Structure 1
Amino acid sequence: MLENPRSPRVRAVAKLTKRSARKQTGLYLLEGPQAAREALAHQPRTLVELFATAAALDKHADIRDAASTAEVEPILTTDAVLDAMADTVTPQGIVAVARQAPVSIEEVFSTAPRLVAVCEQVRDPGNLGTIIRAADAVGADAVILTGDTVDPYHPKVVRSTTGSLFHLPIAVGARLEDVVDLARGAGVRVVAADVGGQDFLAGRGLLADPTAWVFGNEARGLDEDAVSLVDLSLRLPIYGRAESLNLATAASVCLYETAFAQRSS
């Protein structure tokens, strides 16, 4: 049993809250039973270590059984050790370490995707996690992160996806120019969500075709260079008195509208 919160092994896990450590090791941190459960169900080969208190393993017997099937032996720890490892105040008795498993943009567009979410310069972890979750919910084929978008393996992103991180391909570190070129080559229309675009209803009829949505920075939106690359720009109308929509909310509407259009066609 791990009992010392200051041991080198515990400190190595705790360092994964930092991007530099994640980049150096290619690993990332999972916290709580839901994240461990989804990883074991959908990407068991990426799981490297599973740390848990005895009480947590007793409470979540399905996780213990799934770990056994994946040949991952849970490492028993004290509550103090779990607290030292975790990014959250209450890790719920389970922390895991997994290998990052991004895909390339070439892989994304080689599969003839019909719906892709592209995040350009999205900096807020909560927004990115929610967009990934929404993309999963609508049945999107992939999420692509371009520019200086926040690391998808940031602990706050991982938590806010509520497991969706393990359900669909995630491509990282791509250039928007390359994404647009590959999308067009695959017959996918690239559409920007932009306040300077046409009213959403004007382009709604085109969304039944294969579509890659591009969502920009929370505060600044998409810059002119990014908008100039896409095939079409659309803006969601504000019918009430709200100043604007949160990025993740707007992205969710765009993705769902596209999913509706594609399924009804």
Structure 2
Amino acid sequence: MRLHIRYDHDIPVNVFRWTPSPVKQPLHVHESLEIGCCVSGRGTFYFGNKTYGVGPGDLFIVNHQEEHIAESDPDDPSVYLFVNFDPSLLLAEDESLLLPFAYSPERFQNHIPAGSPASRSIVPLIEAMHEELQHKREGYLTAVKSLLLQACVGILRHFAGSPGHRLRRLESGTRRKLGRAVAFLERRDGSGDIGLKQLADHLGMTPSGAARFWKQTMGYGFHRYVTLRRIRDAKRELAATDRPIADICFDCGFQSLATFYRLFKEHVGVTPQQYRNEHPVSDIFENE
């Protein structure tokens, strides 16, 4: 079962608290990367044919390829904080941070045990991310991104020191190509013209080859990335300006208002007008 992740914030990161069922549910995969942190209780975590016992302080690493599900102990239900995030966040900063998530599922030990140096340093970062997203104080999105990067540095260092983990599995050529792709797309920030052909030309690939490369490394199709990027740009314009919604729609690259409204509601959960009403431009300048 493949789950589609809808991010609730203006950066592609979610942190949520969850108690698994005491009865094993179907395994699933999702297009985001994931870090799971058990904060209380007991249970079991299944990854394909692998099984891990779970207790407070245990961390688990999940990529976009491996099926998994957590299960609670009926007498002492486990509670987790889960971080879901888009791999582009790591690629835009330092592509080496993606290496722990570029694993072969059958050989990988997803578990970082409680009490280890990595767990002791990463668990407070996840808790701080959750708190920032709950309270939404000034600068919280920057704080969350910074905390996530610190957590991923800790994960990278943990696996770099683990015997048998091949951090070089993501080949240097692939890493460079990913970095070039993300840098190219970031330079086009705010432009509705984000096309697979432009990216393929930039990478020296055919459009079909670029599409396969993106899907294999990022876990979701390039067209979905474009949609999410355009919606992010539209959210920014809706909140920061009083421009007509139709102008924002077309400037962000959507071909029709009907498509824009449908995709915006699907990914954000409200219509563009409702989003604007909840984030009025007057709020930005209320102290001026």
* TM-score scaled by length of structure 1: 0.27
* Higher relative contact order, chain-length normalized (CA < 8 Å, sep 6+): 1
TM-score (norm 2): 0.26
